[in-house]
Amino acid sequence: MTRDITCHQAVALVSDYLEGALARRDRRRLERHLADCGACSAYLDQMRATIALSGSVGPEDLSNEAVARLVDVFEKYQREKSGESPN
Amino acid sequence: MEDEALLERILGGDHDAFRDLVERYQMSLVRLARYYVKSEASAEDVAQDTWIAVMQGLERFEGRSSFKTWLFRIAANRARKTGTREYRVVTVDPVDPVSSARFNEGGMWNEAPVPFTELINDKLANAGVLEACRNAIRDLPEPQQSVVTLRDVEGLSTREVSDLLELSEANTRVLLHRGRAKIRETLEETLTGGRSWQ
């Protein structure tokens, strides 16, 4: 019996598989299924690519005011600090 | 530029380095804070307080953890103090990451999915895929959004994420799984037009 889990069951294991969090028995079952199933291997590729893409999402456009306000706070803090210790 | 190099410059009073660091992490800080507090405005206040704490504490930061871990810990602590999160206990239902309609009665795919890697490499030039991914993350409900942001966008470990959000590791993984599945679905629609299985 090469396929002891279905595709539907396999996709439910993929995220934990990529996290290295599957119990050994489930990992073996999934790997056996993947070795034999191009469709689920494609799904695994989709999940890997999804995770990689999430990792390359840069910062969203931040409002300039929010950043400028924080930089003002930083400048003020620097001035106060140098005022406290004139070295 | 790595965080550590920016921190060196910030310690020397470099405003631009501070701006770069804020731009790098502000979005994720606000999301983490939003997990604990009720409004976007409160979350932005927590993020601002976090940056002030960073300025004040930077000279004492010894680098025993990564800067990122330190930063998010400060934010989580402040957000917890500010927040009155209504859902202390997060209930997590079993996951069905792909619509049952995609499978036949025997549990096999009706129509095989198409690998993303090549499609993404082709389409990255127009940045539309990244934008779709960013929007999909932003559209996730809490707590999935915080989990995905901290784990997949910021690259913290599942353990760190579960500590920051006060979730069990098992629940963190289920939420991660569900969030990733939704993003995958959005990307599939973006990349293939979602036509092949409709």
In this complex, do A73 and B52 lie within 8 Å of one another by their Cβ atoms?
Answer: yes
Interface contact B183-A59, CB threshold 8 A: no
B73: nearest Cα among B147, B168, B158, B165: B165
Give contacts of B95 with chain A, Cβ < 8 Å.
12
Instruction: Answer yes or no: is pLDDT of B81 > 70.
Output: yes
Residue A40's CB is within 10 A of a number of other CB atoms, namely: 26
Encode pLDDT of B165-179 as tens digits.
999 999 999 999 999
Amino acid at B1: M
Q: Are residues B142 and B54 in contact, defined by beta-carbon separation less than 8 angstroms?
A: no
Confidence of residue B60 (pLDDT cuts 50, 70, 90): confident
Contact status, residue B176 vs residue B140, Cβ threshold 8 Å = no
CATH classification of B3-83 is 1.10.1740.10, yes or no? yes
Domain with CATH 1.10.1740.10 in chain B: 3-83
Contact B26 A62 (CB under 8 A): yes
Residue to mutate among A15, A36, A80, with most B CBs inside 10 A, is: A15
Residue with tokens 């920051």: B164
Any chain B CB within 8 A of the CB of A23?
no
Closest residue, chain A, to B131 (C-alpha): A57
A42 and B CB contact within 8 Å: yes
**Of the candidates B91, B92, B90, B74, the residue with the CA atom closest to the CA atom of residue B28:** B74
d(CA B40, CA B125): 33
State the amino acid at position B74 in one-letter form.
I
Q: Average of pLDDT values for B78-82? A: 91
**DSSP assignment, residue B195?**
-
Write out pLDDT tens, residues A12-51. Answer: 999 999 999 999 999 999 999 999 999 999 999 999 999 9
What are the tokens at B12?
Answer: 């020397």
The 10s digit of each residue's pLDDT in B180-193 is: 999 999 999 988 87
Fold of B97-191: Arc Repressor Mutant, subunit A (1.10.10)
Q: Which of B48, B96, B102, B101 is nearest to B75 (CA)?
A: B48
Q: Number of H helices and number of E strands within chain A?
A: 5, 0
The neighbouring-strand residues paired with B109 are B103
The encoded tokens of residue B41 equal 């405005």
Q: How deeply is B79 buried, as exposed, middle or buried, from its count of CB atoms within 10 A (0-12, 13-18, 19+)?
A: buried
Helix or strand or coil: residue B111? Answer: coil
The nearest CA of chain A is from the CA of B116 a distance in Å of: 5
Q: Look at A50 and B108 and tell me if their CB atoms are within 8 Å.
A: no
State which amino acid sits at residue B96.
D
What's the mean pLDDT when you consider all of chain B? 87
A7 interface with B at CB cutoff 8 Å: yes
Distance of CA A15 to the CA centre of its chain: 11
Closest to B153 in 3D by CA, of B27, B33, B30: B27
Would you say residue A66 has pLDDT above 70?
yes
- pTM over 0.90? The answer is no
Lookup result for tokens 């804020």: B22
Q: How confident is the model at residue A84 (pLDDT cuts 50, 70, 90)?
A: low
Query: Which segments of chain B belong to CATH 1.10.10.10?
Result: 97-191
